[in-house]
Homo-oligomer: A and B are copies of this chain.
Amino acid sequence: MIIQIDMAADIPIYQQIRNQIVLGVAMGKMKAGDPLPTVRQLAGEIGVNPMTVNKAYGLLKGEGVIIMDRRNGAQIHRLPIEGDAMDLDFDQRMTLLISEARIKGASGQELKERIIQLIDRIYEMKEVVS
């Protein structure tokens, strides 16, 4: 599991770390119970301040994606995590994304095909849920 940070992006680094771990879990690269590197280890690898990694882990813990244990460090939580999968926030962000594509000229059919393709790629790995 390699974390790639884009220092030029507008997205805060701690958010990028959080996002990449979410992606890793959803695509089956990391499974429930798998250990995460320690804060210092990961911070050293990607060259950021340990406080930044700590903040990302805190976010993930708050979301229920990981559990932090004083003895074993952090590890992926049992899945699925709590919360409605497709809540208001999901709809709003999805609607905005589709709208931006529409005003750039995408057709509804193009969009559907592309998104189905992306979903299939993510769900390629069966049984992510523990």
- CB within 8 Å of B: which of A75-102? 77, 79-86, 90-91, 93-102
- Given A104-B83, A105-B81, A106-B86, the answer on whether A99 and B27 have CB atoms closer than 8 Å is yes
User: Within 8 Å CB of A101, what residues of B?
Assistant: 85-86, 90
Tell me whether A99 and B67 are in contact (CB under 8 A). no
- CB within 8 Å of B: which of A24-40? 25-27
Sample of 15 further A-B pairs with CB below 8 A, known A8-B77, A19-B96, A23-B96: A8-B68, A22-B100, A27-B99, A79-B105, A84-B104, A85-B110, A86-B111, A90-B100, A93-B97, A98-B122, A108-B120, A108-B123, A112-B116, A115-B115, A115-B119
> What's the tally of chain A residues with a CB closer than 8 Å to chain B?
56
A70 to B90, CA, bound (A): 24
Query: Interface on chain A toward B: helix, strand, loop, or mixed SS?
Result: helix
Tell me whether A104 and B123 are in contact (CB under 8 A). no
Question: How many Å from the CB of A32 to the closest CB on chain B?
Answer: 10
Question: How many Å from the CB of A116 to the closest CB on chain B?
Answer: 6
Question: How many Å from the CB of A72 to the closest CB on chain B?
Answer: 8
Tell me whether B22 and A96 are in contact (CB under 8 A). yes
